[in-house]
Amino acid sequence: MRLVLASASPRRRTLLEQVGFHADDIRPADIDESVRPGETPRQYVTRVASQKAAAVEPCPDEIVLAADTAVALGRRVIGKPRDAVEAANILRRLSGRRHRVLTAVEVRDSRTARRRVVTTIVKMQRLGEGDIASYIDSGEWVGKAGAYGIQGLAGRHIPWIRGSFTSVIGLPVAETSNLLVSFGLQPKSGC
């Protein structure tokens, strides 16, 4: 079986490789990722991951893996900022608060689809305007849900999480590995 990753995210590819899975092909899905009125964060990531997986039609010998990650404050979905001003405003809203990071993963072949949604609670310490300006200047916020990447400079402002660290990065590796194994794929090495 060949594994197709329906994502251009280098972080997802790296996380897959760290646990022994190699994407044989990268086919990013081009879908509308707008939040629909009344959609909860869980509904949102589930729908987007499913649409990404469905947009990449697998051949009979292929398994498609798609994922979507969003940050949520209450029932509000906070996606990827459009520009530096929006990124700074998002960081101000997250400053000193707990928020949820949800990642939905869907794996499908030509007949079956299976999915998991993983929710992690993240605590961000209070950020000063200098902290925000410095982070915006770093450019790390670009293309990241919630305007930050926990695996980079923002990690120093995260005193604790409850849940999956890799899910906050963009792919919960334990759950993803289990889904891939359920389709008959095996990691190349390790336990």
Q: Are 9 and 165 in contact (CB under 8 A)?
A: no
Is 32 marked active-site? no
CA distance 179 to 87: 33
Selecting among 68, 83, 109, 137, the annotated active-site residue is 68
Enumerate residues 6+ apart whose C-beta is below 8 A from 142: 87
Q: Give the residue numbers marked as catalytic.
A: 68
